[in-house]
Structure 1
Amino acid sequence: MMMRLGTRKSALAMAQAEIVCRQLIKCRPDVEIEVVGITTRGDRIQDVPLAAIGGKGLFLKEIEEALLDGRIDFAVHSMKDVPAQLARPFQIAAILERGNPLDAFVSTRFEAIDQLPHGARIGTSSPRRKAILRGRYPHVEILDLRGNINTRLTHLAEGNFDAIILAAVGLERLELDDQIRHLMAAEVMLPSAGQGAIGIECLGDADRVVESLQPLNHGPTRSCVDTERLISAQMGGSCHLPLGAFATINEQTLLDLKAVIGDPESGHLVFSHATGSLDRGSELASEVVEDLLCQGADEILQRVNAIE
């Protein structure tokens, strides 16, 4: 059976498509896969922060058009780049076992973020990272940084920044993990919803495709990522949202859910944490959102939405 896999053309996207191909062929040796590279608007516009031009959906529009017109059967995404709520008729058919969910501190001069001196220039365009950096490291200067991983590393090497923050899993999948100076613990830099996980999108009525992809779906990862994304959705799902949401399954096989929302301008951070059985993901997400709002997250949301 021939299946056409759609993906962005970046090196990381292609590497993730290759991971999916290998796993799918291993589970379904009867399947042949054609990889179809697609350039999205988010790939074409590299000099403006995502939040200013439409957010994460910029990486999906052209790919979803290819799904609709039948040019591809399914698409591969980094789950952290997928909007919290997909439009109909699309669905996430499978989520692979999660890779490294943490952020990486990358620098040519400093071994760890705690070593950064006053006025050090740190690059990121993520509202989440900006808010946490502002709250935990108010002495550093935060500058916008976009582009693919190699472009960002080049900016660092050229001295435009003293350090940059990247998703560790992207560096690892491109075999660039030697660039990582320090992995930032979740307690310091809580990951984005879905960070480290690869998701597969298809049409809602593509039963044959969904059935073929089910061997790739990793139940524990799916439970965690779905719960994280519920928090994002309930907080509005905006690309401007300075939100971290991270779920794990602890030794007691309970879902352990943490979230943070912060003000990228003031650095004010609000945290919440809930634990419960795996079948209570939706309830836990609602509990965490309610707790965040009770602590003043609604004021942060108002300021963020005013920027939009």
Structure 2
Amino acid sequence: MERIVIGTRGSVLALWQANYVKESLRKAYPNWQVELKIVKTKGDKILDVPLAKIGGKGLFTKELETLLLENVIDIAVHSLKDVPVEFIDGLGLAAITKREDVRDSFLSSAYKDIESLPKGARVGTTSLRRTMQLKRLRSDLDCISLRGNVQTRLKRLEDGEFDAIILAQAGVNRLEIKGVKYVLPLEFMIPAMGQAALGVECKRDSEIYEKLAFLNDTNSLFETSCEREFVKTLEGGCQVPIGVNAVFKQGCITLRAILGLPSGEEILEDSIESKVESVEDCQNLGRALALKFIALGAKDILIRAQNWEF
């Protein structure tokens, strides 16, 4: 019997994700003994500072990657949107799972949607991407950093600290959370790269690396490869105001993206579409759209966004 240790963060959502992979492995390889190891990351420890102000890459992955390299764990399961586009030498994504709903959701105790919020309403979100797009629609909204696990965020909404909060619909669905008033359409709120997919990270020279390929979903692999290459070409990290979403249907990818200042000003938005047959085709498409953004001054906007005062 082979013993496999999965590294994961300790939140309810992270444990759902890790257990999903654990059960998938047990079904595929009944002779494997699969167990979880809970790890606290830098992003889990620092909860009183907005993510964008902490700085650095891999806020939710670095500690797990260190344990992979030290052979303490065999696999790390991440929300793919948290995985940096550049990997530490020796590590890679062995699989990208089928996506849940990629959209964001609006939760509020008193209001049905963003348009019905009163002037100056307090909206909780951890994301500069969401803040940028909310401010574009309603510049009067007071977008406030909302850290902590999903249960903590919901409790703060319930306690009246916020008029509304924005969460990823994927997490809402996975945890069967009730009370979503409105799922934000892609035309209004473009998601983060890789949103709603899980990334399964492993040492490239591991004996089990290739054995994890069954977890791959072709649509998800194509879409997220496109999105991640877009961000990689822009040299943007996980905590910058970039939304990018690829949809793969009938052999064709439609890629939409947005970036701008957190204030909702100086926004760039564009899309591109092409037939694709391989991951390389998808990456080329993501790169092509990123180069269009760069030609329009995207890198200057992102530099200013990273130095934004909160």
Show the 5 A alignment for 1:19-58. 19-55=20-56, 57-58=58-59
CA 1:111–1:306 in 2, change beyond 3 Å: closer, same or farther?
A: closer
**Matched residues in 1 for 2:149 and 2:110: separation?**
21
**Matched residues in 2 for 1:240 and 1:98: separation?**
21
- Asked if 1 retains the 8 angstrom alpha-carbon contact of 2:234 and 2:294, the reply is no
Alignment correspondent of 2:120: 119
More deviation in 297-306 or 102-111?
Answer: 297-306
The letter of the residue matching 2:121 is: A
Which of 252, 255, 277 is the matching residue for 2:253?
Answer: 255
- Asked if 2 retains the 8 angstrom alpha-carbon contact of 1:56 and 1:81, the reply is no
- Asked if 2 retains the 8 angstrom alpha-carbon contact of 1:15 and 1:173, the reply is yes
**Aligned-partner SS, 2:176:** coil
**Matched residues in 2 for 1:81 and 1:53: separation?**
14
**Matched residues in 2 for 1:266 and 1:182: separation?**
21
**Matched residues in 2 for 1:76 and 1:198: separation?**
7
Shift of 1:245: 0.9
More deviation in 76-85 or 132-141?
Answer: 132-141
**Matched residues in 2 for 1:28 and 1:58: separation?**
32
**Matched residues in 2 for 1:146 and 1:91: separation?**
28
**Aligned-partner SS, 1:181:** strand
**Aligned-partner SS, 2:58:** helix
Shift of 1:237: 2.5
**Matched residues in 1 for 2:202 and 2:236: separation?**
21
Matched, 1:60 2:61: yes
The letter of the residue matching 1:2 is: R
Alignment correspondent of 2:187: 187
**Matched residues in 2 for 1:288 and 1:184: separation?**
24
**Matched residues in 1 for 2:44 and 2:307: separation?**
26
Per-residue CA deviation, residues 92-125 of structure 1 (Å, 9 max, x unaligned), is 1101111111101011111111211211111112
**Matched residues in 2 for 1:38 and 1:128: separation?**
27
**Aligned-partner SS, 1:58:** coil
**Aligned-partner SS, 1:245:** strand
- Asked if 1 retains the 8 angstrom alpha-carbon contact of 2:222 and 2:248, the reply is no
Show the 5 A alignment for 1:90-101. 90-101=91-102
Per-residue CA deviation, residues 118-165 of structure 1 (Å, 9 max, x unaligned), is 111111121101111111221211111111111111111111110010
The letter of the residue matching 2:95 is: A
TM-score, with length taken from structure 2: 0.94
**Matched residues in 1 for 2:78 and 2:174: separation?**
14
Show the 5 A alignment for 1:167-246. 167-176=168-177, 178-206=178-206, 208-246=207-245
Give 4+ residue runs of structure 1 displaced > 6 Å after superposition.
none
Alignment correspondent of 2:145: 144
Shift of 1:258: 0.9
- Asked if 1 retains the 8 angstrom alpha-carbon contact of 2:9 and 2:39, the reply is yes
CA 1:62–1:7 in 2, change beyond 3 Å: closer, same or farther?
A: same
Shift of 1:238: 2.5
Alignment correspondent of 1:264: 262
**Amino-acid identity (%):** 38
Per-residue CA deviation, residues 175-203 of structure 1 (Å, 9 max, x unaligned), is 21x12111111111000000000110011
Aligned Cα RMSD in Å? 1.5
**Matched residues in 1 for 2:56 and 2:104: separation?**
20
| Unaligned residue ranges in structure 2 (runs of 5+) | none
The letter of the residue matching 2:287 is: S
**Matched residues in 2 for 1:20 and 1:63: separation?**
16
**More helix by percentage:** 1
The letter of the residue matching 2:222 is: S
**Matched residues in 2 for 1:95 and 1:158: separation?**
37
The letter of the residue matching 1:193 is: M
Shift of 1:25: 1.8
- Asked if 2 retains the 8 angstrom alpha-carbon contact of 1:156 and 1:163, the reply is yes
Alignment correspondent of 2:83: 82
More deviation in 109-118 or 160-169?
Answer: 109-118
**Matched residues in 1 for 2:244 and 2:217: separation?**
19
More deviation in 197-206 or 267-276?
Answer: 267-276
The letter of the residue matching 2:201 is: E
- Asked if 2 retains the 8 angstrom alpha-carbon contact of 1:260 and 1:272, the reply is yes
